[in-house]
Chains A and B, each alone.
Chain A
């Protein structure tokens, strides 16, 4: 697994952890907003690629957020 993929797994899951107080839908929104605002395109690419490859180490909220970013783009 690439270093950047390890980064985005750790970062993505950590972002989700910050919103335990939010309902699922808002959590997805918050995570998607954050990633879209701060992540460079190759990080997004690594995220999409990892998700497309299975991504059992990613929080489902990150996967849903990634799907939202993809569809919005």
Chain B
């Protein structure tokens, strides 16, 4: 595709169902009521000149370029701020208008660098385009007072701000305010002194700017420009694809010059992001060409040997021989595989097929085990399917937003911006989180209630909210009677005094009156929506909590329409998809149990193999079986187990016990230290397939270049399967999706052709819902009746003790991503070069700790060191860190405790002690904890 330039209609569309007929330049135009004259003209193919208007933001009316004449009206109103009216007759091109516009553009050009038109990004400059369109031949004004000696701000690693080309149209300021919601930019000064200013006369880097890129995208000149464009020049072609960071799944235009990516620009027609982006997706893609990329297969006999580059054939044969030997000696179930939520649906599907059909075992699991497996269990049990209920757009209709254990502005920033916009419009916010996350109070957003609960008491809190709803007679009886079952038993349970806010308050650390008020607010709605993250799932009662939230939403009738629902904010780009594809050891694609004969026979017929009817091992049980000696070989697709999984001593002991560890990844990582075969993987820029985001949206991932390692990951899985004696081959990724559709009812209507035509689609997509399903459970729940589940609160056994008196909880920050394999290899490290431990001032003072001090963080299973940051965001008794850097190894201290139903690790609750330390002292202790495997294996 040549460079895709999206049409800019100047102002946003109107949602009004009513239509208005008017005439523009002699053309009859039919548009929704409330549409601007500018947009109506654009819809008729008539582009009114503009500079300050763009259709991603409300009209501003400052540049005076879009003036029009309207019969019967005096003057020349701005078409961007003038709404259409029935019978209106508009002229957009007259001599009078042309002269006015020429006068305006001439003034702009009189204070604009002469060489701007020859700069690398000049094609981005709408000002020059407009001057050419208006046939401005000359600027009559001589050199006078101007802004041409302004200093360029290059402080941001990804874009530069050149005030000399700025026309102070405020598009950047409004983008930062209205789209991103950060309010980092202002126009300071008046008249000639007006200028765009980050923060309080700061550099971009020093301001509150979060580098989302919205200002760069909005800028109509080259004042705000990507540094890659400045360095490489303008791109000349576009490939539409999907971001590979978080579960929002933003659509991007990968813009290239030849085979080189110049920039990633958010796609306006992207269903998930609608033209917005964050610092990771927009700018942090350089890792794909980082010199650390491993591009050739490698093998070694022992993990102490150096790696040896080999051909693909040798590497595959080495892996297959090893797996076969293990199975011959220790049985068919002595090996397994792990799929990755970073990979496409097609890659994941093929790997789980390889494990089930070629390895002939159900020992396949996925990294979703350690994040959202409780979502699958909880929502499936109560509602009938393992997925969130809404599309992202739904939040625009929410009146009350309940955010539990999620930090959208950091971890799902594009959706976080959308949520903040709705909050600025007046929706009420309840935040349930031990930390005072940014949403609790940020520019023009303030939570009505922040319930700073103690980690591990989620279920007590959600039960108490439901208790208030039931005992204060706030239940939506009609919804419950018509749509749900098992209500009476549940209502009797939840009404029990043990679930009252007053009883749970001491354990939860929440003011019971605040909790009651929050519950009443949620029940009042009328549209109340729950959004949650890993602060819900990564607990010993993660699945119970998911069911508890579903109970609360059912009791208040908050399902089956826009603005409501229970919505997981998935961590990785394809967590939903990897789960959909049958990555769990107990179920095939579409969440159907392996013991279901009818379902299994569908796969047996398709794959030509008898399949195992009993569930396989989950990841933690694979590790334990490895240490015991019954599980001896593993294929790891794109997951750094030895950094991301809990209780790393145990993980490393397990990996170190295996005879064969095969890692497929972009980079050598912590897990590959235990590997015998390394198979190079492909970055998202090389992948061809689909991702499924948190709203069940299936989006195409299109390659912008060939795999640098020479093979697609699904081809490698096919090669390994064949070498293991099972014939598996596809001509392309599209064929894999066709097979997925053939065996998975919720994907039955999906194909690459369909996605290329529709853009994206939300499953279920089949004969019943050929255009997909943005909102689920509309008339009835997937399981028929929504099922109330009794959810007694059972405190985690992981508790603060005299020796470990603090509770550690973990999370992510905006600029880094999970284990940091990608973002650490980009300029994002300038914002977050290391993990730090956030600690409340009182806990810090008690221990003599100041911000910047090195501290020892120790739990009953391990210790690590990092710097402290004293923070009022923390609740006393709770400390927090991220796990983006392997040198910190935060998961050295997390424990073996996990969700009772799914074994999802309890990352969010670890009893720890924090003490000041010196680096040298800590290094010694930490190394003992991390690397001495004999302490774990007993060997």
A67 vs B264: C-alpha distance in the bound complex, in angstroms? 59
The residue in chain B whose Cβ has the minimal distance to the Cβ of A43 is B621
A43 vs B615: C-alpha distance in the bound complex, in angstroms? 11
- Given known contacts A11-B903, A14-B540, A21-B792, A38 and B615 CB-to-CB distance under 8 angstroms: yes
Question: Min CB distance, B27 to chain A, in Å?
Answer: 64
A20 vs B620: C-alpha distance in the bound complex, in angstroms? 26
Q: Which of A3, A17, A34, A38 contacts B628 (CB 8 A)?
A: A3
Task: Return chain B residues, CB-CB under 8 Å to A39.
Answer: 615
B900 at the interface (CB under 8 A from A): yes
Interface contact B586-A4, CB-CB below 8 Å: no
A10 vs B620: C-alpha distance in the bound complex, in angstroms? 12
Task: Return chain B residues, CB-CB under 8 Å to A6.
Answer: 624
- Given known contacts A17-B794, A20-B794, A41 and B625 CB-to-CB distance under 8 angstroms: no
A18 vs B548: C-alpha distance in the bound complex, in angstroms? 13
Interface contact B333-A42, CB-CB below 8 Å: yes
B340 at the interface (CB under 8 A from A): no
A26 vs B544: C-alpha distance in the bound complex, in angstroms? 18
Q: Which of B624, B900, B903 contacts A17 (CB 8 A)?
A: B900
Task: Return chain B residues, CB-CB under 8 Å to A42.
Answer: 333, 617, 625, 630
A43 vs B617: C-alpha distance in the bound complex, in angstroms? 8
A42 vs B363: C-alpha distance in the bound complex, in angstroms? 12
- Given known contacts A7-B621, A11-B903, A37 and B586 CB-to-CB distance under 8 angstroms: yes
Encode contact with B along A37-58: 1 for CB under 8 Å, 0 otherwise: 1111111000000000000000
Interface contact B593-A40, CB-CB below 8 Å: no
Question: Min CB distance, A43 to chain B, in Å?
Answer: 6
The residue in chain B whose Cβ has the minimal distance to the Cβ of A2 is B628
Interface contact B544-A18, CB-CB below 8 Å: yes
B493 at the interface (CB under 8 A from A): yes
A18 vs B898: C-alpha distance in the bound complex, in angstroms? 13
B627 at the interface (CB under 8 A from A): yes
Tally of contacts, chain A with chain B, CB under 8 A: 65
A39 vs B628: C-alpha distance in the bound complex, in angstroms? 17
A67 vs B617: C-alpha distance in the bound complex, in angstroms? 21
The residue in chain B whose Cβ has the minimal distance to the Cβ of A17 is B794
Question: Min CB distance, A3 to chain B, in Å?
Answer: 4
Task: Return chain A residues, CB-CB under 8 Å to B623.
Answer: 3
A56 vs B617: C-alpha distance in the bound complex, in angstroms? 25
A40 vs B621: C-alpha distance in the bound complex, in angstroms? 9
B827 at the interface (CB under 8 A from A): no
Task: Return chain B residues, CB-CB under 8 Å to A41.
Answer: 333, 614
A11 vs B621: C-alpha distance in the bound complex, in angstroms? 11
B790 at the interface (CB under 8 A from A): yes
Interface contact B627-A38, CB-CB below 8 Å: no
Q: Which of A20-38 contact B (CB under 8 A)?
A: 20-21, 34, 37-38
Task: Return chain A residues, CB-CB under 8 Å to B624.
Answer: 2-4, 6-7
A37 vs B585: C-alpha distance in the bound complex, in angstroms? 10
- By secondary structure, the A interface counts as helix
Most buried by B among A6, A10, A14, A20: A14
Interface contact A18-B593, CB-CB below 8 Å: no
A6 vs B903: C-alpha distance in the bound complex, in angstroms? 14
- Given known contacts A18-B900, A40-B614, A4 and B544 CB-to-CB distance under 8 angstroms: no
Question: Min CB distance, B41 to chain A, in Å?
Answer: 61
B33 at the interface (CB under 8 A from A): no
A45 vs B903: C-alpha distance in the bound complex, in angstroms? 19
Interface contact A40-B493, CB-CB below 8 Å: no
Q: Which of B518-573 contact A (CB under 8 A)?
A: 540-541, 544
Task: Return chain A residues, CB-CB under 8 Å to B595.
Answer: 37
A15 at the interface (CB under 8 A from B): yes
Task: Return chain A residues, CB-CB under 8 Å to B620.
Answer: 7
B896 at the interface (CB under 8 A from A): yes
Task: Return chain B residues, CB-CB under 8 Å to A19.
Answer: 792
The residue in chain A whose Cβ has the minimal distance to the Cβ of B896 is A10
The residue in chain B whose Cβ has the minimal distance to the Cβ of A34 is B901
Encode contact with A along B781-799: 1 for CB under 8 Å, 0 otherwise: 0000000001010100000
Most buried by A among B595, B615, B618, B900: B900
Q: Which of B883-907 contact A (CB under 8 A)?
A: 896, 900-901, 903
Task: Return chain B residues, CB-CB under 8 Å to A34.
Answer: 901
A39 vs B441: C-alpha distance in the bound complex, in angstroms? 45
Most buried by B among A4, A34, A43: A4
A30 vs B86: C-alpha distance in the bound complex, in angstroms? 66
Q: Which of B608-636 contact A (CB under 8 A)?
A: 614-618, 620-621, 623-625, 627-628, 630
Question: Min CB distance, A37 to chain B, in Å?
Answer: 6
Interface contact A40-B616, CB-CB below 8 Å: yes
Task: Return chain A residues, CB-CB under 8 Å to B617.
Answer: 40, 42-43
Question: Min CB distance, B107 to chain A, in Å?
Answer: 72
Task: Return chain B residues, CB-CB under 8 Å to A18.
Answer: 541, 544, 792, 794, 900-901
A38 vs B189: C-alpha distance in the bound complex, in angstroms? 66
The residue in chain B whose Cβ has the minimal distance to the Cβ of A3 is B624
Q: Which 3 A-B pairs have the closest CB atoms?
A: A3-B624, A3-B627, A14-B900
15 CB contacts below 8 A, A to B, read A4-B625, A7-B621, A11-B903, A18-B541, A18-B544, A18-B794, A18-B901, A19-B792, A34-B901, A37-B593, A37-B615, A40-B362, A40-B363, A42-B630, A43-B617
Known: A41-B614, A42-B333. 9 other contacts (CB 8 A): A4-B621, A4-B625, A18-B792, A18-B900, A20-B794, A34-B901, A38-B586, A38-B901, A41-B333
